[in-house]
Homo-oligomer: A and B are copies of this chain.
């Protein structure tokens, strides 16, 4: 796997590589939210992406970048969330085996989604150590290639294609793009695409107050863990990696934190006004724009809605 920061050309190549398998998701607008923010908002709807999240992009690009030899032994990862589905989906698309390690307390809806793609699921206790140990056993037994959910340049390159499409689809220049930050795969890809395809566009990250590691790392200059974890945005709990953090440090303008209440308010606007099912993590960038709207008056703002995988039985409203 690649050991250099993605270039304009690698992002363009990745886009061509994954295009046959992904949706070119629509960019939507809302007069109501424009009026509310006194700005012009362009929503990149990755909740409408395959598997319901942008992660399909990174997973596909990583798998499609492997050699025939590597693919023969399959792919493995650990995840209870969208990355598990992305890898299972991408492996199924090209007929490779996927070995997914999931915590034994994962919701059955997520386990079933992964199994539906034909992946082999191995359960483990829900600690980082147990997850990694279980993956290590699989790698030893099968020779499968491990694909990290974000700290992997092919994954970052894949995620970068969402902002590339957004920039291409909005006819005028965006003043800024906002995307959520968890481990940093999406935001670092977004920052690179802005740099290459729309150099005048600033990139901001949205982060939950209850998993505020990135904003801390951004300020201190080294990777930090969150002071505490307590947020509804369950896709953004991890901290940054040594591949994502330097890109963020160099190319992201600022990291804006939002409370769970602000996230749920943003979610409600997306559901009620735009008729889009968006998961809490997917509404964080919208929440950030709403909270800091006074800073962005009159600007053209691209917003990445990152995913829509929610349990309808457990809605916050």
Binding site for B on A (CB under 8 A): 26, 28, 47-48, 52, 268, 271-272, 274-278, 308, 312-313, 315, 317
Contact = CB atoms under 8 A, between A and B. Distances in A.
Contacts of A272: 277, 312
Contacts of A313: 317
Nearest to A311: B272
Contact of A312 (B48, B52, B271): B271
Contacts of A48: 28, 274-275
Nearest to A267: B312
Q: A-B pairs with the 6 shortest C-beta distances?
A: A275-B308, A275-B277, A47-B275, A312-B317, A271-B277, A48-B275
Nearest to A268: B312
A277 B315 CA distance: 13
Contacts of A308: 275
Contacts of A315: 312, 315
Contacts of A26: 26
Nearest to A282: B275
18 contacts: A26-B26, A28-B48, A48-B274, A48-B275, A52-B275, A268-B312, A271-B312, A272-B277, A272-B312, A275-B276, A275-B277, A275-B308, A276-B276, A276-B277, A277-B277, A312-B315, A312-B317, A313-B317
A83 to B, nearest CB: 18
Nearest to A45: B275
Given A52-B275, A272-B277, A275-B276, 8 more contacts: A26-B26, A268-B312, A275-B278, A275-B308, A276-B276, A276-B277, A277-B277, A312-B315
A268 B312 CA distance: 8
A118 B275 CA distance: 23
A268 B52 CA distance: 15
Contacts of A268: 312
A171 to B, nearest CB: 16
A26 B29 CA distance: 13
A69 B274 CA distance: 36
A146 to B, nearest CB: 28
Nearest to A47: B275
Nearest to A31: B50
A166 to B, nearest CB: 16
Nearest to A308: B275
A150 to B, nearest CB: 22
A251 to B, nearest CB: 29
A183 to B, nearest CB: 23
A217 B186 CA distance: 55
A275 B23 CA distance: 14
A275 B272 CA distance: 13
A184 B275 CA distance: 24
A307 to B, nearest CB: 9
A70 to B, nearest CB: 27
Contacts of A271: 277, 312
